[in-house]
Structure 1
Amino acid sequence: MTLPRGRGAAVVGTGWSDVARHSASPLGAHVVQACRRAVEDCGLTMADIDGVATYPNPSRPVGTTVDGIDVAGVNYVAATLGLTNLGWACSVTQGTVIGALVEAVNAVLAGAARHVLVWRGMLNPPGRFGRVARETAEGDDQFTRPYGLGHNVPVFALPYARYLWKYGRSRTDMAEFVSRNRERVVDDPESVFHGRSLPVDEYLRARMIATPLSLYDCDMPVTGCGAVVVSATDRARDLRHRPAHVAGRVSLGLPAHRSVVMQYEHLAESGRRLGALLWADAGLGPADVDQANLYDGFSFYVPFWAEWLGFCKEGEGLDHLADGARDRAPVNTNGGALGRGRLHGTPQLIEAVRQLQGRAFHQVDGARVTVAQAGDPLHGAAAVVLTNEV
């Protein structure tokens, strides 16, 4: 395999905040903590940061939002961290942290910034998550909410149910992956599920939220933040850790289909398109990848993305997770969101970087190429291919 030449941008630092199921601290405190740790991790100072990017949308409806309390946008972070040398800032309107990362990479390549701080903070205030209390259904909601689609889980259950029926699979086929995924964080003190395993039989007995999605098929809402620093390649090589060079990146943008009900075939068509664009931009293919980090806001997205990115044939994603992914390109070796909580793509991105730097908690020997993908194809999915060589 011949690695492509570096494209001029690299991820050089990573940082987690403290992560909790619920937290008495405002979201801004977690975001600032993660950002400081990411900047310190690569040996820079706040005076070096001249660009910022985030996807600031609240993780659930919270009424009136206050910057620094319910969300933590570019204005709050810049003011709180004293970023006085900013020349570029971006707030992505849809997507995940990887969508913000793509914009940061574009800014570095265009010469608009040299060191860009990127983060995604998630809030889980006290109370039940996602309770729907509306008395009326307006707009597109009038066609869905009265019929049981008043929350994300039943909405996302539909394409999963279609997939299981189409390929003759069942929840039993998912059980081993979810259980093994949790085992990866049992001994990891950074994970909110530290010390809490999930045996296969417990997964299969779990309370159903919207068939076929159970409690353990959904990432757990948490309060926390992950952050990274993107730098120009000529500056990255002099920093503290080995750079994770950006070989390819894509942000899917608008979906190819518009439907009030999520359909599996629509997801698959857009997902395949993202995969084709990603590998074309990177000059690499799935066979070159040593370790993969795939979105898992719901468990089924992991086999879906394994198929759409070309790691296996369509309909064979669950078999890939059970067999091939263990040896050829291990998936979500830090537990992903299912193991770390709902952190919206930051587990995927940070793990991809740390694997290339040789600093992962469960390190893959000889990892030279990783992929980090986050989001679903109809809501701003994005992905990057990273390498540790230029």
Structure 2
Amino acid sequence: MTLHERVAIAGVGETRYVRAPGSGRSAIALQLEAALHALDDAGLRPQDIDGVIPFSLGPMIAEDFITNLGLRDLNFSAITPLGGASPVAALQCAGAAIAAGICSTVLLSVGRNGWSGARATDRTADMLQFRVVNTFERPLGAISPAQLYAPMARRHMETYGTTSRQFGEIAVTMRRHACLRPNAVMQAPLTLAQHQASRMISDPFRLLDCSLESDGAACVIVTSAERARDLRQPPVLLLGVGEGHPDSPSAISQRDDLLTLGTAKAARKAFAMAGVTPADIDVAEIYDCFTYIVLCQLEDLGFCRKGEGGPFVEAGHIALGGRLPVNTHGGLLSQAHVGGMNHIVELARQLRGQGGAAQVAGAELGLVTGYGDMGDGAVAIFRRG
């Protein structure tokens, strides 16, 4: 079975993104607001939703949506426990359920209190995917994502000559794009010198190599391609999708290859289903928990060869007006950290031609990725309907 052009994004919604202590809004309240925005965007009612995929790391379950939105007859619910790859993996899950006739319209949701809520840096103690990390990495002091991924970035630097300034080019570009988005948390321009002067978090990651902690929620509604054509917005058709897990998926330190993510496997599947190549992509929304992860995914996706990510970003190719505009909303680095669901929202808007000041002219084909905590990857390719 293929999902090629069988399902589409019909509605998107998001809340205001903020970094404000004590905002008083729970992650559940934020997700309900984003869900209502997505329904309105699509021209649907809560009763039209018969499938729900909440974020695997969030507080909401299907029953919360039923109770609070008044869903009448939910036929399908699931979670996709791939960390930051979950929202893009959920696109595949929703598409499969719709194509199989199990349900017709699925709501995908992410909401976080990353700034105002309680934050624990020792994430490895609570998350199931870190069970093996607790044996191999945690005893050495690696208790946060920055510490887990820093050796991957350092290996790339030592192997290919990649520099911190090249990581900085990614941060600066994301900030430039965020400044075109009123809903982005970070609105002040960023220079390469400021990036280089920011404090070290976990060598080679500086503060400005790291994604934001923020409050907010985003939701996406997926339905059949046929039904989407009858709704309020131009449909954004799914061409191809895939997920992949790195070799030795449970412990980074046990891998023979630190420099290839699950994205590489997911990309092969997604491009094959879509029937397109990296050269055909007009705009990409790439999961950016850290600057290096963007660079590594650019290589794994085939936009440049392994080891050439540094020169690729340094040449300005990922900026608006470049060969491959990336994260036109500012991404997790500068818009907000919403588990990557905001990347899907942004891609839908770009392919509808609703990107505002950050619109990529003539964008017809776009790609979005997710990246999970131990290197899981998910990739989806869409076209304007």
Q: Same fold judged by TM-score > 0.5? A: yes
Q: 1:181 aligns with which of 164, 174, 186?
A: 174
Match of 1:372 in 2: 368
Give me the identity figure in percent.
Answer: 28
Residues 35-94 of structure 1 deviation map (CA, whole Å, 9 limit, x = unaligned): 110110011111211111122314xxxxxxxxxxxx122221221111113211112223
**Partner SS for 1:300:** helix
> Are the structure 2 counterparts of residues 155 and 139 from structure 1 closer, same or farther at C-alpha, using a change threshold of 3 Å?
closer
For the pair 1:117 / 2:107, whether they are aligned, the reply is yes
Q: Aligned partner of 1:388: which letter?
A: R
Q: Any unmatched runs of 5+ in structure 1?
A: 59-70
Match of 1:340 in 2: 335
Match of 1:216 in 2: 208
On the 8 A contact 2:236/2:384 being kept in 1, the answer is: yes
Q: 1:152 aligns with which of 128, 142, 145?
A: 145
Match of 1:94 in 2: 82
C-alpha deviation, 1:214, in angstroms: 1.0
Q: Aligned partner of 2:104: which letter?
A: R
For residues 3 and 114 of structure 2, the distance between their equivalents in structure 1, rounded to whole angstroms, comes to: 41
CA RMSD of aligned residues (A): 2.5
Q: 2:63 aligns with which of 65, 75, 79?
A: 75
On the 8 A contact 1:271/1:377 being kept in 2, the answer is: no
For residues 150 and 120 of structure 2, the distance between their equivalents in structure 1, rounded to whole angstroms, comes to: 16
> Are the structure 2 counterparts of residues 138 and 370 from structure 1 closer, same or farther at C-alpha, using a change threshold of 3 Å?
closer
**Partner SS for 1:10:** strand
Q: 2:297 aligns with which of 297, 305, 327?
A: 305
Q: Aligned partner of 2:64: which letter?
A: Y
Match of 1:29 in 2: 29
TM-score, normalising length: structure 2: 0.89
Residues 18-49 of structure 1 deviation map (CA, whole Å, 9 limit, x = unaligned): 22224321111100000110110011111211
**Partner SS for 1:14:** strand
For the pair 1:248 / 2:240, whether they are aligned, the reply is yes
TM-score, normalising length: structure 1: 0.88
Match of 2:382 in 1: 386
For the pair 1:261 / 2:256, whether they are aligned, the reply is no
> Are the structure 2 counterparts of residues 258 and 89 from structure 1 closer, same or farther at C-alpha, using a change threshold of 3 Å?
closer
Residues 229-273 of structure 1 deviation map (CA, whole Å, 9 limit, x = unaligned): 111111111111111000001122x54314533458245163322
Larger mean CA deviation between 219-228 and 377-386 belongs to: 377-386
For residues 172 and 351 of structure 1, the distance between their equivalents in structure 2, rounded to whole angstroms, comes to: 27
On the 8 A contact 2:82/2:372 being kept in 1, the answer is: no
Match of 1:363 in 2: 359
On the 8 A contact 1:91/1:100 being kept in 2, the answer is: yes
Q: Any unmatched runs of 5+ in structure 2?
A: none
For residues 52 and 167 of structure 1, the distance between their equivalents in structure 2, rounded to whole angstroms, comes to: 43
On the 8 A contact 1:270/1:377 being kept in 2, the answer is: no
For residues 289 and 264 of structure 1, the distance between their equivalents in structure 2, rounded to whole angstroms, comes to: 31
Count of aligned residue pairs for this structure pair: 371
